[in-house]
Amino acid sequence: MKSYQATRTAPAPDSAVVRGPGEVELHLRVNGQDRTTRVEPRVSLLDALRDRLDLTGTKKGCNQGACGACTVWVDRRRVLACLTLAITCENREVTTIEGLSDGDTLHPMQEAFLDCDALQCGYCTPGQIMSAVAVLAEGHAGDDTEIREWMSGNLCRCAAYPHIRAAIRRVRDAQGGDRATD
């Protein structure tokens, strides 16, 4: 039985330019824009996004890689931003929840989460949505059992799981995806 667990770290960087004691200049492509910041090599991608680049949509839940609240994509693959060193994402494409919408137009999964009431407190929602979009792209949304399995790395303390699965099914069906009996 396969289980989803976001990649715990991204591969090592090609290069990083050291500038001064303890910090490096970091070049990221975040949500389609080139961004440069300075961080200590030990700074997580989550902290770089939130504290240095002011992208606060990605949430810090457990900060131990257990809850999935910090799920983002690095080169279109799900990663846990709290366990990924920012420096390992040098010159790579990082996508956060802010990068899903097109201006004021929400991504279909964001719309489905709203329509299906797939959020309660909302804290886990950014990570849930990032994983849900990836589950569809990976082809792991055939039925509720498969969705449950491939979303298992994202926890919801409010237990909105049936609504989250409904949102994923809604987008899957709208995209004409294969479906088994739900």
* Helical ranges in 100-160 per DSSP H: 108-115, 125-138, 144-150
How many distinct structural domains can be found in the chain? 2
Whether 38 is in a domain gets the answer yes
Instruction: Reply yes or no on whether the pLDDT at 2 is more than 70.
Output: no
Q: Quick one: which of 161, 73, 169 has its CA closest to 124? A: 161
Domain, as residue range, for 133: 108-174
Instruction: Reply yes or no on whether the pLDDT at 86 is more than 90.
Output: yes
| pLDDT (mean) for 69-90 | 97
Whether 43 is in a domain gets the answer yes
CA 73 – CA 136 distance, rounded (Å): 14
CA 7 – CA 130 distance, rounded (Å): 13
Q: Quick one: which of 160, 158, 142, 140 has its CA closest to 150? A: 140
pLDDT in tens, 48-69: 999 999 999 999 999 999 999 9
Whether 7 is in a domain gets the answer no
Do 157 and 114 share a structural domain? yes
Which is more confidently placed, 181 or 127? 127
Do 112 and 159 share a structural domain? yes
CA 57 – CA 63 distance, rounded (Å): 15
| pLDDT (mean) for 129-137 | 98
CA 128 – CA 155 distance, rounded (Å): 8
Do 159 and 121 share a structural domain? yes
CA 144 – CA 50 distance, rounded (Å): 33
Do 115 and 61 share a structural domain? no
Residue 64 in tokens = 């131990």
Confidence of residue 176 (pLDDT cuts 50, 70, 90): confident
- Residue-level pLDDT at 10: 52
